[in-house]
Structure 1
Amino acid sequence: MASKKKVIVTGFEPFGEHAVNSSWVAVQELEKLGLGEAVDLYVCEVPVEYQAVQRLLPSLWEEHQPQLVVHVGVSSYATTVTLEQCGHNKGYKRKDNCSFCPASRCCMEDGPDCIHSALDMETICKRVNDSGVGVTFSVSEDAGRYLCGYTYYTSLHLGQGRSAFIHVPPLEKPYSSQELGRALQAVIQEMLKLLDEDHNQD
């Protein structure tokens, strides 16, 4: 029997106008659904704080040794479930929930400007849009310059690209928490399939 795949999925705590953060609500829905028998799913809520992310992410990667880490965040502008292809290092000047922002305005002092996910989001997007899950997916190259982008870049660095970031719209704009949970389940299963395919080609 093959050992179970470990997948970590995170959402964010409330911030700003998001008194309820749809990303964490969606992740909790996903936890109820699971990712199938072969996957050991671990979920956690990430504080909207730069320094907390710097502490939390290395321990998640080290402690769990996951095959894949998927971060989910809310975007007021999103009307689709948006798959982010890359994380950016510089330009973080918006203050977090503790009114803090990095003095360097970047994730890593000497890090590359941009780190791409090992997953081809265009392929995943097409597959999951064709699968009839009832939620529309799109791809973006810019996860923003706040905790979403900051978390993604840090995680891509720690996991050598085995990380993904998904932006979800606020609840009921247009999707319910159940629809978002099903969307996360479908897209993460596609991500795992693609990682398997890539692995088998090596």
Structure 2
Amino acid sequence: MTRVLVTGFEPFDKDTYNPSWAAAQLLQKNPPDGAEVTAVQLPCVFGESLKVLRDAVLETDPALVLAVGLSPRAGLSVERVAINVNDSPIPDNAGRQPIDEPIAPDGPAAYFSTLPIKRIVSEVEKQTDVNAWVSQTAGTFVCNHVFYGLMHLLATEGRQRRGGFVHIPHTPEMPLAVNGQVPALPVESTAQGLRVVLSTALAHETDITVSAGTTH
């Protein structure tokens, strides 16, 4: 069995539910063949989220880490790059709102995902009805904070571990989706797509050469 760590976030702001954590739990209950998934919930808090993440990585010693976060998008956004900046437009769950602060003062400007992101997108769309695409930005809020922090951890303490980040949609019962303000997808469908993300990443270390860029 290959050990895999999947993280999701606690509810944020006025929400009482976060599908990123629900999806992580579903993956733990029903992992891809050959994988043993441990799901860990991260606080939606700058700094503290990285402490919990580091503890989880060191405790579970996974071969692969997939961090999952919520975004008002219409499918799975497989993130390409994390940047070394916290620039928060709103406070986190602890009221913190860092602006123009580096995540790791001694770290590089950016890290790329070490997952085969284009191959993942291709396989999700082949094997499921879930939309997927390569995303060029994870924002500058806690999701990017965790993505960069994960990749910095793996680069400096990670041995042979690989990792990446995927943004997922709201679920239909969440308030913003009920009001028609954001797209929605049942968490079971999201978990199905994430299961393909994991199985593809575990089966392939190299990516495919296809265009997945943007003009702006």
Q: TM-score with structure 1 length normalisation?
A: 0.87
Q: Could you tell me how far apart the structure 2 residues matched to 1:14 and 1:193 are?
A: 32
Q: Is 2:204 the counterpart of 1:194?
A: yes
Which region of structure 1 is more displaced relative to structure 2, 49-58 or 107-116? 49-58
Which amino acid counterpart does residue 78 of structure 2 have in structure 1? Answer: L
Instruction: Tell me what 2:29 maps to.
Output: 32
Instruction: For residue 31 of structure 1, report the CA deviation from its aligned partner.
Output: 2.2
Native 8 Å contact 1:71 1:166 kept in 2 = yes
Instruction: For residue 141 of structure 1, report the CA deviation from its aligned partner.
Output: 1.5
Native 8 Å contact 1:122 1:139 kept in 2 = yes
Instruction: Tell me what 1:79 maps to.
Output: 74
Instruction: Tell me what 1:136 maps to.
Output: 131
Which amino acid counterpart does residue 25 of structure 1 have in structure 2? Answer: A
Native 8 Å contact 1:92 1:150 kept in 2 = no
Q: How many residues align?
A: 191
Q: Is 2:152 the counterpart of 1:157?
A: yes
Q: Is 2:99 the counterpart of 1:107?
A: no
Q: Is 2:45 the counterpart of 1:62?
A: no
Instruction: Tell me what 1:127 maps to.
Output: 123
Instruction: Tell me what 1:176 maps to.
Output: 186
Q: TM-score with structure 2 length normalisation?
A: 0.82
Native 8 Å contact 2:120 2:201 kept in 1 = yes
What does the per-residue CA deviation read over 1:73-116, in whole Å, with 9 as the maximum and x for residues that have no partner?
0002x111110011111143342101124476221012111100
Q: Could you tell me how far apart the structure 1 residues matched to 2:59 and 2:108 are?
A: 25
What is the alpha-carbon root mean square deviation over aligned residues? 1.9
Native 8 Å contact 2:27 2:37 kept in 1 = no
**Identity %, equivalent residues:** 28
Native 8 Å contact 1:85 1:120 kept in 2 = no
Gaps of 5+ in 1: none
Native 8 Å contact 1:8 1:68 kept in 2 = yes
Instruction: For residue 127 of structure 1, report the CA deviation from its aligned partner.
Output: 2.3
Gaps of 5+ in 2: 156-160, 173-182, 208-216
Native 8 Å contact 2:86 2:145 kept in 1 = no
Q: Could you tell me how far apart the structure 1 residues matched to 2:91 and 2:142 are?
A: 9
Instruction: Tell me what 2:11 maps to.
Output: 14
Instruction: Tell me what 1:48 maps to.
Output: 44
Which region of structure 1 is more displaced relative to structure 2, 20-29 or 98-107? 98-107
